[in-house]
C-alpha cells in the first residue's frame, strides 16, 4: 500500500484520541542505570546527598530518561513486531499494512526535574497528520503529544513526537 489521501484520512480519524499508560515509579536504581548507560557523570543522578543539597528530595532523572524508554514492560516477542521493528500493537488502529514506519524526531519541553520515587502516568494523543512529499515519494507525518504526569497531577515533561509513514 502506498501512502495517499485515503490513508491520510484514515489516520486522521485518530486525531484527538487520548490514552493513558501507568509507568510506575521511577526508582533510584533505574536513574543510576540509565545515567551510567548514557555515560553521564553528573552527581545529581547518583548522589542523594548532593541532590538534596541542590534542593531535590532525592537523585533526579536525566532529562530524557522517561522519553527514551519506548516501552515500560518487557516488550513483545519477535512475532509481535513488524519487519521494521515496530510493535504491531502500537499501530493497531492505523492503516499501516505495507507502509514503512519510522521515527521522525522529537521536541521535549522540561517542566520540572523528576526525582527518584516519582510515580508517573503518560498521557498521549495524536495531535496531527499531514501528507508531504519526500525524496522517495509521499510521506505522512503523524504528530503525537505525550505528557508525563506525577501522581499529584503536575505535568513534569511534555514530548511532541513525529512518526513517518512511507
Contact status, residue 159 vs residue 70, Cβ threshold 8 Å = no
Count of other CB atoms within 10 angstroms of residue 34 = 19
Q: Which helix (H) or strand (E) holds 22?
A: strand 18-26
Res. 70 pLDDT band, cuts 50 70 90: low
Three-state secondary-structure class, residue 74? coil
Check residue 93 and give its pLDDT.
Answer: 65
Express each pLDDT in 15-60 by its tens digit: 999 999 898 999 999 999 999 999 999 999 999 999 999 999 999 9
Q: Where are the alpha helices (DSSP H) in 28-82?
A: 28-37, 48-53, 65-68
How many whole angstroms separate alpha carbon 48 and alpha carbon 143? 37
Q: Which helix (H) or strand (E) holds 7?
A: helix 5-12
Which pTM does this prediction carry? 0.85
Provide the grid cell at 36: 551510567
From the list 159, 146, 150, 71, the residue with the least C-alpha distance to 115 is: 150
Provide the grid cell at 23: 509507568
Provide the grid cell at 77: 516477542
Express each pLDDT in 71-101 by its tens digit: 666 778 888 887 777 777 766 667 767 778 8
Interacting residues of 116 by C-beta distance below 8 A, sequence separation 6+: 26, 27, 28, 30, 31, 58, 59, 60, 61
Amino acid at each position: 500500500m502506498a501512502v495517499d489521501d485515503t490513508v491520510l484520512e484514515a489516520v486522521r480519524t485518530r486525531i484527538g484520541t487520548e490514552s493513558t499508560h501507568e509507568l510506575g515509579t521511577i526508582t533510584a536504581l533505574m536513574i543510576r542505570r540509565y545515567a551510567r548507560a548514557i555515560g553521564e557523570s553528573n552527581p545529581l543522578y547518583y548522589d542523594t546527598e548532593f541532590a538534596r543539597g541542590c534542593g531535590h528530595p532525592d537523585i533526579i532523572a536525566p532529562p530524557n530518561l522517561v522519553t527514551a524508554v519506548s516501552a515500560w514492560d518487557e516488550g513483545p516477542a519477535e512475532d509481535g513486531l513488524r519487519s521494521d521493528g515496530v510493535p504491531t500493537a502500537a499501530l493497531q488502529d492505523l492503516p499501516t499494512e505495507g507502509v514503512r514506519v519510522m521515527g521522525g524526531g522529537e521536541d521535549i519541553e522540561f517542566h520540572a526535574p523528576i526525582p527518584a520515587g516519582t510515580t508517573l502516568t503518560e498521557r498521549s494523543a495524536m495531535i496531527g497528520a499531514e501528507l508531504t512529499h519526500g525524496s522517495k515519494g509521499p510521506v505522512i507525518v503523524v504528530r503525537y503529544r505525550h505528557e508525563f504526569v506525577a501522581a499529584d497531577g503536575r505535568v513534569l515533561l511534555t514530548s511532541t513526537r513525529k512518526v513517518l509513514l512511507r
